[in-house]
Structure formats: structure tokens, C-alpha cells
Chain A
Amino acid sequence: MNETPAKAPRPKKGNRRKIVLRPMAPIVPAGNIAGRSLMFVISIMSFLACLTLGAVIMVQDTANSWQSQISREITIQIRPEEGLDLAAELDKARDIALGFPGTTGATIMDDDATARLLEPWLGEGLDINELPVPRLVIITIDEASPPDFASMRSALDQAVANVYLDDHRTWVDRLVAMANTTVIIGLCVLALVFTATILTVVFATRGALSGNQHIVEVLHFVGAEASFVASHFQRHFFLIALKGAVAGGLAAAFTFAVASFWASNSLATPESDQASALFGGFSMGAGGYVGALAIVVITAVLTAMTTRVTVIHTIMEIDLIRSDPARSI
């Protein structure tokens, strides 16, 4: 690097030794310790924010699918009674239901199916006709144009004895309310994680900058304008934040990919059935990935903005506060 002048006589007088300069170093030093820990903090926070976002999207999707699955079916119940021809009543009920526009099919639960349904409670090999068990007709409906439940109910009441039409309305309403509450809670958690991310990024950025105050001061004193100094620091911190946030976002996407792989690979087990009933199979969909991308971008932009504000504030402090002799100790 600093070669000593050669002892050998110079070939020609005035032929100066060439000094090779290194390429100009950036004004703000890259790769200081504070920068690395800032990157780490940002990656953790964006990872958490992405995970929360993914969870909220998953809950919302699941709630939606519950709602549509359940309202796809309605049931007609007929209670048995002494002297009532149950089979005839069931046929009648099915025919009335099928007569309405908007129903796509109707199945009478036969004796075997009903027995199987009750097996867990009453045990095997029972004769269903000896018990006063209500019998069911399951009607599938066209979700796009559902039948008029009120007139179907009154038509059934008039023609069929002991009939009860269950359109699952109460159940669906309650489920939707619960799902909406869950989504609202999820959104609140997301807002909290987001606020925490923002605050962490702001404080970590300020911390990383505090070690560079002397650079800000020297640059300003040799004639650099605040925006010039800010833009140099900003570029540097934007890159740090972008790297950190991308790492966090990728880690979150990877986590979701692993979870969905696990869910689809162990689909047959009862545990995964429960999990997929609850979580809808860990699929995040395009919305989740767009959201994660947005989190990455927001984090990086926010870091850059914090840097700019902090640097400009530092310069203001140099010019206004530290230049005031009354504020010295």
C-alpha cells in the first residue's frame, strides 16, 4: 500500500511516481456494527409482522369458507309420532322442497344412515324404528339464488305433520359473528405488531445513527447541505433495512410454505383434519404474499425516512442548539 520510494535512480527527471488511488469510499462507512444489529432487528420485526398478516388472512379465509359451506345445505326434520307414516311424510316433504326453485337436490336420510349418525351415542345394532328419533331430509340449495325459506316453511307446515325446517340461519349468523370478531382481533394484533415494528425501526435507526454524529457534523462544516448529508445516510440505511426486511419476509413465507407442506402431507391423520378444519389448510394465497411485500417495502421506506428526519434534526441541533452558548454547561 505505501510503497517506500525506490532507491534506484529515477529513469527520467520529472517522471513522477504514479500513485494509485483506491476507488472513492462511500461518504458514510458501510458495515459498522450498529448497521448489522439494525438489520437483525428489522428482519425480526418484519418476520413477525408478516406472520401476523398471514394469520389474519388465514382466519378470514377460513371464516369465509365456513360460511359458504354451511349455507349450502338446509335440513327438514320430521318428528315421529304414534300412527304417523313417517316414510310417506318424508317423501311429501322432499317433493315440496324440490318443487321450489333454488333447490338442487334432496336426500332422505334412510334408516341405516340415521343409525350410523346415532351410533356414537346409542351403540350398534339398534332398530331405529323403535326409537322416537327425528328423521332428516337434506336439501342442497343453489347458493347463487337460494329458495324462499319462509314460503317453503309455511308450505311444509300445511302439508306435513311434525315438520321443522332448519335453514341453519342462527348457526351461520353466530359463526359469522365469531369469525368477524376473530378477524377484528387479528387486525388489532396486526396493528400492534405494526406499531411495534415502526417504533423499533425508528429507535434502532436513531441508535445506529448516533454513532455517526461526528460524520454528520464534519460534512456539514465542510459545506454539505442537510439534504446532501441526509441522502447519503438514507441510501445506506435503506439498503440495510431492505436486506433485513426481505430476509424477514422470506423467512415468514418459508414458514408458511413448510406449514402448508406439512398440512397437505399428513392430510389423513385426525390431527391434520382438525388443523385444516380450524385453519383451512395453511394456504395464504396471493393476498398474503402481496401483504408481505408491502410490509417489506413499508419497513425499508420507513427506515429511510427516519434516517432523513434524524440527520436533518442532528444538523438543526448543530446549527441552532449547540451554537447557543447559553445552553452549554
Chain B
Amino acid sequence: MIDFDNVGLRYGMGPEVLRDVTFDIPERSFQFLTGPSGAGKTSLLRLMFMSLQPTRGFVRVFGKDITTIPQQELPKLRRRIGIVFQDFRLLDHLTTFENVALPLRVRGREESAYRTDVKELLKWVGLGDRMNVLPPILSGGEKQRAAIARALIDQPEILLADEPTGNVDAPLAQRLLRLFMELNKLGTAVIIATHDLSLMDQVDARRMILSGGRLEIYE
């Protein structure tokens, strides 16, 4: 689904953040992306989300070279990818329910058609009684769960999650991990960027480790 071929990345005149990175994300796969802070995990996820272009090499998403995709096709492709941003990016003027429903709303769906789905998902992530609350009032962990729910709501083909358990306690992290695995069983390829070793130890999954700009993969 996603193909990296000798990808190099440097911001401006800075040092190379990524060097000769080559890998692919198969359909229905499950993997962790890890590495020290500043190693380039978020940058790698941005490349996969087509919001960043490589300095060298090729990135192919759904079989298309991301440097040649016409701008007006990007929204259609991004609808097939769910993303959890490290900084959540919830809209402060919308309630939790409205934030989570936003991807469906921009696809032109009717509220009556998805209301129950959104409520179910919010209950699953433990936000059943926070639906009418605006994000500034939510705790860090609650915001994180809302961001995750927003990424999952349309059952994407690929899920990119940047530190999705960074703000929650261990039991909740475990619960969220189970949610990701559930989603993976339904056919979504999942990539979770995390520092959390204990989280990775819970699943026997592929690990992609970034350090010094290089990527090593442990199957």
C-alpha cells in the first residue's frame, strides 16, 4: 500500500533527517515505528500522509508516486487514510461528537446516518459522557482518544497514529491498542509511532526503528 524507495529528507539546509529509507507497508499489516525523540517519526508519517515531499527517492502511496499526484486528487486519497496527529488538532469550536463526526461530514454524509456509529465509537474509547464537551475542557488523554476516534470513524485502509498512547495510563493504553488490533483484523493497515516499549511488548508485531536517519526493521 505504501512503498518507500531510498528516501532521503532534509529540511531547508539542515542535516538529513532520513537517509536511504526503504520499506513497504503491506495490506492488513500491523507495525510499530519507534526511535528516539527527534529521529524523524513524525516526518516519516507526514511523508506517508502526502503532506511532505521527499528530498530524494520515491514514495508511493496506493501505487502512486506522491510527487506526481495532482493537487485535486489528494483529498480523495487522504480519505482512505486515518491519521492521529501528535498534537491532536481538534477544532475548539466543535464538541467531541462533532469533531469525531467531522470526516464523515466533509464527505457529505447526513448526521442521522452516522449518529449512532459515532456514539458507539465514543463509548468504546470511554468518551460516552464527554460528547457535548468542547476540546479545551477535555483532559490530555480525553483529547487523545477523541483524535483517535476521529481517525477511525470512517474505517480507513491505513491508520497512521503518532504517539496515540502518550497521554493515557497503562490500562487505557492497552484498551486503545486492542482497538487498533480490532481495526487491523477488519482489514486496516496500522502504523503506530511510539516511544512506549511496554506497549510494543504487548504485541508481536513488526518494529521499524529509526535512528541516525536510518531505518531498521525487525519482523
* Chain A residues at the B interface, C-beta cutoff of 8 Å: 1-5, 19-22, 24-25, 27, 29, 214-215, 217-226, 228, 316, 318-320, 322-329
The contact sample of 8 A-B pairs, CB cut-off 8 A, is A1-B133, A27-B102, A29-B93, A219-B106, A221-B51, A223-B154, A325-B12, A326-B55
* Chain B residues at the A interface, C-beta cutoff of 8 Å: 9-12, 14, 49-55, 71-72, 74-76, 78-79, 83, 89-91, 93-95, 97-98, 101-103, 105-108, 111, 115, 119, 128-133, 150, 154
B107 partner residues in chain A, CB cutoff 8 A: 223
Contact B72 A225 (CB under 8 A): yes
Which of A19, A217, A221, A328 is in CB contact (< 8 Å) with B132?
Answer: A19
Which of A1, A215, A318 is in CB contact (< 8 Å) with B91?
Answer: A215
Contact B10 A325 (CB under 8 A): yes
Assembled-state Cα–Cα distance A1/B53 (Å): 45
A223 partner residues in chain B, CB cutoff 8 A: 75-76, 78-79, 103, 106-107, 154
Contact B131 A21 (CB under 8 A): yes
Quote the shortest CB–CB distance from A38 to chain B (angstroms): 18
Which of B79, B119, B129, B133 is in CB contact (< 8 Å) with A5?
Answer: B129
Assembled-state Cα–Cα distance A319/B79 (Å): 15
Contact B72 A2 (CB under 8 A): no
Extra contacts, 15 of them, besides A214-B89, A218-B89, A324-B53 (Cβ < 8 A), are A2-B129, A2-B133, A19-B129, A20-B132, A21-B131, A22-B132, A24-B98, A25-B98, A29-B93, A221-B51, A223-B154, A225-B75, A226-B72, A323-B51, A327-B12
Contact A222 B52 (CB under 8 A): no
Query: SS class of chain A's interface: helix, strand, loop or mixed?
Result: loop
B54 — nearest CB in chain A belongs to which residue?
A325
A325 partner residues in chain B, CB cutoff 8 A: 9-12, 52-55
Assembled-state Cα–Cα distance A192/B120 (Å): 59
B154 partner residues in chain A, CB cutoff 8 A: 223
B90 partner residues in chain A, CB cutoff 8 A: 218
Assembled-state Cα–Cα distance A326/B130 (Å): 42
Contact A1 B132 (CB under 8 A): yes
Contact B95 A328 (CB under 8 A): no
B119 — nearest CB in chain A belongs to which residue?
A19
Which of B9, B50, B111, B150 is in CB contact (< 8 Å) with A24?
Answer: B111
Quote the shortest CB–CB distance from B19 to chain A (angstroms): 13
Among B53, B111, B130, which residue has the most Cβ atoms of chain A within 10 A?
A: B53
Assembled-state Cα–Cα distance A323/B43 (Å): 11
Contact B106 A319 (CB under 8 A): no
Quote the shortest CB–CB distance from A324 to chain B (angstroms): 6
Given contacts A2-B132, A19-B131, contact A222 B111 (CB under 8 A): no
Given contacts A2-B129, A2-B133, A224-B75, contact A323 B53 (CB under 8 A): yes
Quote the shortest CB–CB distance from A208 to chain B (angstroms): 15
Which of A25, A224, A329 is in CB contact (< 8 Å) with B95?
Answer: A25
B128 partner residues in chain A, CB cutoff 8 A: 19
Quote the shortest CB–CB distance from A25 to chain B (angstroms): 6
Given contacts A21-B115, A25-B95, A226-B72, contact A326 B78 (CB under 8 A): no
B101 partner residues in chain A, CB cutoff 8 A: 24
B111 partner residues in chain A, CB cutoff 8 A: 24
Which of A2, A25, A225, A319 is in CB contact (< 8 Å) with B93?
Answer: A25
Quote the shortest CB–CB distance from A179 to chain B (angstroms): 55
